[in-house]
Amino acid sequence: MQKPTDLSAIRLITVSGRIGAGSTSLGKHLAQKLAWKHLEGGEIFWEAIRKRMDVATKDTNLRADEEDQLFDNQLENILTKDNHIVVEAKLAGFFAQKKPGVFKVGVVCEDQEDNDQTEIRIDRLVNREHITVHEAKEEVIEREQNDLTKWRRLYVNNDPDWVYWQKDYFDLVVNTYEHDPEESLALVLKAIGYREA
């Protein structure tokens, strides 16, 4: 079994991105390369929720605030104390602000004018999840809006302009409209000072 890679001054890496932007692929590939644990926040959160509630993933607005806050408290705990983990969660970069030893990666899918490529994100979701275009649009557009509405209320005093993919939250922003998965991984490895053994 490969020993986890030690990085100078970096104990955790967060990967945060909009649905279908490529954060899951990047998080998994990065964890494999470093031999670190990959923690996918949404997967863990929704597994716990589904056991107690009959709520679709996109229906952020239907789940109790306490569920979000419980998960976010657990996320804060991980970001504060743990080592050798790639934490892939939408709010990971936001919650990791000013936490020592955390390198924060944001993932976007935008053209040269910074316009989000929603159709590409929808198409990626169709191919990855083997769902219909309609289902993918619900996931990408409706769920994202539900997430923003709830998190703006819970965490930023209903600031209508706040988004969790705000670029100044991150040490590095990777644009998957311009870079394929291998190039995206290479950009992160270079930024964190990774050297092949």
Confidence at 196, pLDDT banded by 50, 70, 90 = confident
Residue 7 lies in a domain: no
* Selected residue with higher pLDDT from 148 and 71: 148
Residue 167 lies in a domain: yes
Residue 194 lies in a domain: no
Confidence at 47, pLDDT banded by 50, 70, 90 = very low
**86: Cβ contacts below 8 Å, ≥ 6 apart:** 12, 13, 14, 15, 27, 30, 31, 34, 36, 37, 38, 39
Provide the mean pLDDT of the chain: 89
Decide if 60 contacts 146 (C-beta within 8 A): yes
Q: Residue 177 belongs to what domain range?
A: 12-189
CATH number at residue 76: 3.40.50.300
Residue 3 lies in a domain: no
The two three-digit tokens of residue 60, written as one number: 């952020």
pLDDT, position 7: 93
- The predicted-structure confidence for 51-98, as pLDDT tens digits, reads as follows 555 555 555 555 666 767 777 778 888 899 999 999 999 999 999 999
Confidence at 45, pLDDT banded by 50, 70, 90 = low
d(CA 16, CA 166): 10
d(CA 114, CA 109): 9
Q: Write out the DSSP string of 14-69.
A: EEEE-TTSSHHHHHHHHHHHHT-EEEEHHHHHHHHHHHH----TT-GGGS-HHHHH
Residue 6 lies in a domain: no
> Region 174-187: what's the mean pLDDT?
97
Is the confidence at residue 44, as pLDDT, over 80?
no
d(CA 189, CA 14): 13
Confidence at 43, pLDDT banded by 50, 70, 90 = low
pLDDT, position 120: 97
* Closest by Cα among 107, 78, 93 to 183: 107
What percent of the chain has a predicted confidence (pLDDT) above 70?
86
Residue 4 lies in a domain: no
Residue 5 lies in a domain: no
pLDDT, position 77: 86
Task: Out of 25-29, 38-42, 191-195, pick the least confident.
Answer: 38-42
Is the confidence at residue 23, as pLDDT, over 80?
yes
d(CA 102, CA 14): 7
pLDDT, position 165: 96
- How many structural domains is the chain composed of? 1
What percent of the chain has a predicted confidence (pLDDT) above 90?
74
Residue 183 lies in a domain: yes
> Region 95-112: what's the mean pLDDT?
97
